[in-house]
Structure 1
Amino acid sequence: MASQSFSLPLQGKVAMVTGGSRGIGAGIAYELAVRGANVIIIYTSERSGPLTDEILSKITSLEHRPHAAKIRGDLNQVDIPTKVVDQALAWLESSGRPKNIDILVNNAGVEVVKALGTITAEDFAKVYDLNVRGALLMTQAVLPHLSAGGRIINISSVGSRAGFKEMGIYCSSKAALEGLTRCWAAELGKNGTTVNAVNPGPVQSEMLDNIPKDIVNAQKAATPIENRVGTVEEVAMIVCWLAGEESRWVTGQTISASGGWAMY
């Protein structure tokens, strides 16, 4: 039993991952399940449905058979986080499990790459409504159902502390998410809940394709570990550590997952 507990440190936990159909979000959902968590994946568009099904199949094929579910919801809409959480609780109840959520990973995000002079109010709303407001409303919706000693993990970016041309909206939205992380950590810690952020550097994923190549190449050249971009798995393993018991004395922190490109 001791060895099983060690190999499945998140066994019995329930984790929600937003933006979990692809890239870093999908990697996080899978790695949480590998460690024993039951995972609820939140995805946005109809075209992401088949990708989400692939992740669910991969999760439920694991030897220890974790449970997994998908819920579609556009977190740009203010009423969706509550509806998503209600569906998650109904799924837990239908399977005879307590209606508690232990881990929330706010991963869903979007970027707009535009020069300052061309940014529109619609561009600003598109990014901030999801990257900032979406994370806030999702956390609010989960909060009444978050277990004592819960884990809230926000996926930010090294861009929150760096200046990249034509990425002002995205980078500033991630800086706002870091600020929320610290404030929530100060507010929610009385029952052992921790709130932290992870800042990936460039990671080989679909989102990386939208970043100007000169920025990516410069980051690779300045990355101490092997002059390369990171992998989804490397970021996911950091998130899983924050989701576990071993990180219980860490809160309000932002961890740079960038191979040393950014050192805080």
Structure 2
Amino acid sequence: MTQPRTLEGKVAIVTGASRGIGEAIAFDLAARGAKVTLTYSSDRSREPAAALISRIQSEAHSSAIDVQCDLKDPTAPTQIVRATVEAFGPHIDILVNNAAIISSKFAQDITIEHFDEIFHTNVRAPLLLLQAVLPHLRRPEGRIINISSVGGRQGYPGTGAYAATKAALEGFTRNWAAELGGEGTTVNAVNPGPVKSEMLDQVDPRIVQPQFEATAVQQRAGRPEEIAEIVGFLAEPRSSWVSAQCISASGGYAQY
């Protein structure tokens, strides 16, 4: 089924968009008509990013560019915004903070370096991106969408640093919504449960799978496209009455 072009003329930035949830989000927004800047960090993601741009052009009939950058670098957000404005003009409509790092480390094994790496990517980068985007954000229909996680509320052994970043991102979501709501900008978070992706593969299945099967109503991992559909709605003008929400997309966690 063809996606309605409800975002025609809009410009979106999606971080961490070469694969998984980010890839699905970038394609979904493009299919709705948006021009998309997608970011990736490592050289091994260059080919998947190029393939996604080709797919956006041929199947979604929209425009896209990619930016390779390390979001731990505090200058990366300015680089991303500069490339977007040069490619698509002075206005940006949608920011999706999707990029994140996850790893399995128990509390006694978390080093300062590990802590800083995760927080700089998962928390500081979304803040700096928001700051870089704001001078270009088109009002009154600006959309900021943060990809959080059920891990920010539901405890999993060995994912404490990651969980703390997602709890922080939810705090940002509610506060940014309060700060920007007077000008018509909405800020929301989507909190996926385990989704079939490369990121999920990085977590020890002995940690996640038993708890997931015991507490999820649907007892299966999600698909990236299922998260992208929610993000797509939140990016549209018709979602203007939805803000400051952290929306669970987790297959029905009983303890969530």
Instruction: Name the TM-score, length of structure 1 as normaliser.
Output: 0.92
The equivalences for 1:69-218 within 5 A come to 69-92=65-88, 98-148=89-139, 149-214=141-206, 215-218=208-211
Query: Moved runs in structure 1, 4+ residues, more than 4 A?
Result: none
CA distance in 2, matches of 1:221, 1:117: 27
- Residue of structure 1 aligned with 2:6, choices 9, 13, 17: 9
Shift of 1:117: 1.0
- Change in Cα spacing, 1:39 to 1:254, as seen in structure 2 (3 Å) is same
Contact 1:13 1:101 in 2 (8 A): yes
Deviations 1:119-178 (A, max 9, x none): 100000010000000111011101110110100000000000011111110001000000
Instruction: Report % sequence identity.
Output: 50
- Residue of structure 1 aligned with 2:231, choices 214, 239, 243: 239
Q: Which of 106-115 and 213-222 deviates more? A: 213-222
CA distance in 2, matches of 1:155, 1:262: 21
Q: Which of 122-131 and 73-82 deviates more? A: 73-82
Report the secondary structure of 1:207's partner residue. helix
CA distance in 2, matches of 1:240, 1:262: 26
Report the secondary structure of 1:62's partner residue. helix
Q: CA RMSD in A?
A: 1.5
Partner in structure 2 of residue 29 of structure 1: 26
CA distance in 1, matches of 2:94, 2:194: 25
CA distance in 2, matches of 1:34, 1:88: 18
CA distance in 2, matches of 1:257, 1:27: 15
- One-letter amino acid matched to 1:136: L
Deviations 1:88-132 (A, max 9, x none): 11112xxxxx41110000001001211111110000001000000
Count how many residue pairs are aligned between Structure 1 and Structure 2. 253
Shift of 1:262: 5.7
Report the secondary structure of 2:99's partner residue. coil
Partner in structure 2 of residue 60 of structure 1: 57
1:222 aligns with 2:219: no
Shift of 1:191: 1.7
- One-letter amino acid matched to 2:120: D
Report the secondary structure of 1:147's partner residue. coil
- One-letter amino acid matched to 2:165: S
Shift of 1:217: 3.5
Report the secondary structure of 1:7's partner residue. coil
Partner in structure 2 of residue 46 of structure 1: 43
- Change in Cα spacing, 1:107 to 1:114, as seen in structure 2 (3 Å) is same
CA distance in 1, matches of 2:125, 2:17: 14
- Change in Cα spacing, 1:258 to 1:54, as seen in structure 2 (3 Å) is same
Report the secondary structure of 1:39's partner residue. strand
Instruction: Name the TM-score, length of structure 2 as normaliser.
Output: 0.95
Q: Which of 210-219 and 73-82 deviates more? A: 210-219
Partner in structure 2 of residue 95 of structure 1: none
